[in-house]
A and B are shown apart, each in its own frame.
Chain A
Amino acid sequence: MATILGRELPDTVDGYGEVTPFKGACREGGVKTRKAVKLTSVNPHEQKVLDNLEQVFDKLNLKDGMTISFHHHLRNGDYVLNMVVDGLAKRGLKDLTVAASSIFPIHEPLVTHIENGVVTGLVANYISGPVAEAISKGKLKKPAIMQTHGGRARAIESGDLQIDVAFIAAPTADNYGNINGVYGDAACGTLGYAMADAEYADKTVAITDHLVPFPACPIQISQVFVDYVVQVESIGDAKGIVSGTTKITKDPVALIIAKRAAEVIKASGLVKDGMSFQTGAGGTSLAVAAELKDIMQREGVVGSFAAGGVTGYLVEMLEEGLFKTLFDVQCFDLKAISSFRNNSTHQAMSASMYGNPHTKGAVVNCLDIMILGATEIDTEFNVNVTTSSSGMIMGGSGGHSDTAAGAKLSIVVTNLMKARLPIIKDKVTTITTPGESIDVVVTERGIAVNPRRTDLIEKLRQANVPLLTIEELKIIAEKITGVPKTVQTLEKIVAVVEYRDGSVIDVVRQVY
């Protein structure tokens, strides 16, 4: 059985089940149902606050094989996931599935729990650090399931991903379970990735280090979804919450790439009043934002919205009147957190509103311009952001596939060579995002447009933007680097890469 992109997949994968192969970016739409939520109603006079995590565990119907979930708004400063899994391990629980929106290096203690059989399943949209390495080496019993941000929300809401208990790291919570992310020592801003978990899990626990009198204000996650509240000493390290790269790069090559991307954006005709834009937090992506800002200022353009994980740079663009509003699923730095707290035009969105393909329209569908990264790209424009060129898991889609599918113009910005390796290949090691939703690849040595986008090619030619084919770009890189050997892997499938609609777009196999 093969996907429409020609990747051979088994009919079933041990520990995952039946495989539905990827058939195309928008092929699994139509009538959908959300799952019915089982809940225990809370009567008047009942208390939700418990003294400590042990009491919480006592209240929950803990059992081997259950699925527990976490959000990643505290990123590499998160203490909650380790705290909970350590506690459950001490209680002798086994065979747990951890459904975390993302896993970071701080979650290294999970490796021991994986080795001891406490954790045998993992579902995440992005995995980096020692856990990624452990999975790649085949230590996790069941294959990890790698989703997209929108796809995770879809899976939870549809019931494909059944969560027994959602443990919500809550920067601020009141004693009746209202939560916000804007106050407290571990303030992280919006809580977009925790929304579906809170609403659809059988049990929802707020874990906070900032318990405030009822009612918390503002309320981002409502009391109606929360069963228990527990205060701990600290839920996270504020330093790790701020995303690594939130400054514009000084790297001259990256700045050239950004300038070229801006030329493409300008020539596309999409820079006009009411436009929308999203970019990630990387140095090059922010440099594209800076170039776009120049163009917008010069031409007097006022955009509708900028979206995504929001950085201080997008906040500046909002404050300077270049966009009317921001849609923010997660705040990347303190400036974004403060803006979200104080500015009503800086709006939160849930992961579902952001990118869930099975809603009545996600924000990604309204995006004009999306700036994306890539670890590898193939000559069909398929992109890998899941594994390194050696086959090791080192990331994942996050919102990559969601935004690429939705945006009118999705641009991959990347160095043509990284660490002596060419980025463009005949076949990427792992397909994360299908080529049909990637429009342009911009590198320091040239720009290639997806041949499907004849309209865009015409516009860029009219604007005298020099274009190459992706094959030509590949040749330029290989002239310098040579052709790398194909990565050899073992047969065992260590991760299943789900597209946003839940179909399987690729699998990751064990590395040597």
Chain B
Amino acid sequence: MLFMPGNNPSMLQDAAILGADSIILDLEDAVSLTEKDSARILVREALKTIDFSQVELVVRVNPMDTEFGPLDVDMIARVKPDTLLIPKANEEQIKIVDTMLDKIEAEEGYLAGSIKIIALIETALGLENVYNVIQASNRIVGVLLGGEDLTSDLGIERTKEGEEIFYARNKVATACRALKVDSIDTPFTDTNDFEGLAKDTAKAKSLGLTGKSAINPRQIEIIHSVFSPTEAELKHALKVLEVMQQAEKEGKGVCSLEGKMIDAPVINRARNTVALGRSLGLLER
């Protein structure tokens, strides 16, 4: 998921072709107070006119407890982005957005519940309450962990190594897995350190997060390469599914591959790997 400032027309124009799975048009941190109104209008017009069909389109609105947040939701939801990213998310704010979206969808004739929400967890309260935040609306499809604001709220230093967000990553990954929504890792902020980015992404993946946000298009390729399964992993996953299907055909309850039993977790992992491989174009759909 690539963050792009919502006040830069030329970047908006190219947003869909940069290789990200989702782009986040940002009305919050990337936009100064004096440009909030113009950026909101610019993003609305971009959504109306530019063909973003190749990517999931997310708009980060301002926090709902600011004067800008409700205005953002009201204007942007009417041009139907795929998803809204709600900063400093807690249960109450998610519910407010959910109610606003119900109303807007009804007024505009959009399918109820079609505009999704990603909760940006970046406060200690939000983190501790993440499970309930996800359950606050059926629209929630994922959580994005905001490491910078979170560490600021915790009054601790944010480091490149990221040990200080170990707990937060675990907590978000576990809650998201439990409720079957995506968990997106915080961006890596040194845009010239690609080795550091690869390590940081691998760490997030190893803790169970399912994606990572980027703040520079040049980070996309590395994030994809870390999250994409290797050829050997894909082959193994396909083999597992093949053996399983064969066993099902033959009515066998249990099967094994290369001496190892294939049980439900192994099958699930294989299915996830194949689905990811397909979505990344590594396998024919």
A250, A256, A479, A480: the one contacting B18 at CB < 8 Å is: A256
- State A253–B11 Cα separation when bound (angstroms): 9
At the interface, yes or no: B228 with Cβ under 8 Å from chain A? no
Bound: A253/B16 CA distance, A: 11
Q: A444-B17, A445-B17, A480-B13 are contacts. A252–B51 as well, Cβ < 8 Å?
A: no
Among B14, B18, B50, B216, residue most surrounded by chain A Cβ atoms (within 10 Å): B14
Q: Is the CB of A256 within 8 A of B218?
A: no
Among A255, A444, A479, A480, point to the contact of B218 (Cβ < 8 A): A255
Q: Is the CB of B19 within 8 A of A256?
A: yes
B218 and A250 within 8 A (CB): yes
Instruction: Provide the A436-455 mask, 1 if CB < 8 A to any CB of B, else 0.
Output: 00000000110000000000
For window 203-221 of B, CB contacts with A under 8 Å fall at: 216-218
B157 to chain A, nearest CB (A): 28
A residues less than 8 Å from B217 (CB atoms): 252, 255
On chain A, the number of residues with a Cβ less than 8 Å from chain B's Cβ atoms is 10
- Minimal Cβ-Cβ distance residue in A for B14: A253
B13 surroundings in chain A (CB, below 8 A):
417, 480
Whole-angstrom distance between the alpha carbons of A2 and B185 in the complex?
62
Q: In chain A, what residue has the closest Cβ to B218?
A: A252
How many angstroms from the CA of A193 to the CA of B14 in the assembled complex?
40
Are A256 and B51 within 8 A (Cβ)? Answer: no
Shortest C-beta distance, A416 to chain B (Å), equals: 10
> B51 contacts A444, CB within 8 Å?
no
Chain A residues, CB < 8 A from B216: 252
Q: Report the interface size for chain B: residues with CB under 8 A from the other chain.
A: 10
Bound complex: CA A464 to CA B216 (Å)? 28
CB-CB contacts below 8 Å: A84-111 with B: none
Residues from chain B with Cβ under 8 Å of A480 in the complex: 13, 50
Interface residue ranges of B168-219 to A (CB < 8 Å): 216-218
Which residue of A252, A255, A445 has the most chain B CB atoms within 10 A of its CB atom?
A252
User: Closest CB-CB distance, B27 to chain A, in whole Å?
Assistant: 21
CB distance from B119 to the nearest CB of A (A): 28
Give complex CA distance A252, B8 in Å.
Answer: 15
Identify which of B13, B17, B50, B51 gathers the most chain A CB atoms within 10 Å of its CB.
Answer: B17
Give chain A residues whose Cβ lies under 8 Å from the Cβ of B218: 250, 252, 255
CA of A314 to CA of B170, assembled, Å? 47
Is B17's CB under 8 angstroms from A253's CB?
yes
Q: Is B17's CB under 8 angstroms from A256's CB?
A: yes
Task: Specify which chain B residues have a CB less than 8 angstroms from the CB of A445 in the assembled complex.
Answer: 17
Question: CA A195 – CA B240 in complex, angstroms?
Answer: 69
B19 / chain A contacts, CB cutoff of 8 Å: 256
Query: A445 CA to B15 CA in the complex, in Å?
Result: 11
Tell me, in angstroms, the Cα distance from A479 to B13 when the chains sit together. Answer: 12
In the complex the two chains form, what is the Cα distance from A253 to B216 in whole Å? Answer: 12
Query: Given B14, B17, B51, which contacts A479 in the complex, CB threshold below 8 Å?
Result: B51
- Residues of chain B with a CB closer than 8 A to A252's CB: 14, 18, 216-218
Q: In the assembly, what is the distance between CA of A445 and CA of B52, in Å?
A: 12
Instruction: For residue A253, give the distance in angstroms from its CB to the closest CB of chain B.
Output: 5
Bound Cα distance A357, B125 (Å): 74
- Residues of A with C-beta under 8 A to B14: 252-253, 444
| CA distance in complex: A250, B17 (Å) | 16
Provide the A153-197 mask, 1 if CB < 8 A to any CB of B, else 0.
000000000000000000000000000000000000000000000
Docked Cα-Cα span, A480 to B18, in Å, equals 17
CA distance A31 to B102 in the complex (A): 81
- Closest Cβ neighbor of B2 among chain A residues: A252
* CB proximity to B under 8 Å, residues A244-301: 250, 252-253, 255-256
Distance in Å: Cβ of B15 to nearest Cβ of chain A: 10
Q: Which residues of B contact A479 (CB under 8 A)?
A: 51
**Residues of B near any A CB (own CB < 8 A):** 13-14, 17-19, 50-51, 216-218
Q: List 10 A-B contacts (CB under 8 A).
A: A252-B18, A253-B18, A255-B218, A256-B17, A256-B18, A256-B19, A444-B17, A445-B17, A479-B51, A480-B50
Q: Contact residues of A with B, CB < 8 Å?
A: 250, 252-253, 255-256, 417, 444-445, 479-480
Inter-chain pairs besides A253-B18, A444-B14, A480-B50, 15 sampled, C-beta below 8 Å:
A250-B218, A252-B18, A252-B216, A252-B217, A252-B218, A253-B14, A255-B217, A255-B218, A256-B17, A256-B18, A256-B19, A417-B13, A444-B17, A479-B51, A480-B13
Shortest Cβ-Cβ A-B pairs, 3 listed: A252-B217, A253-B14, A444-B17
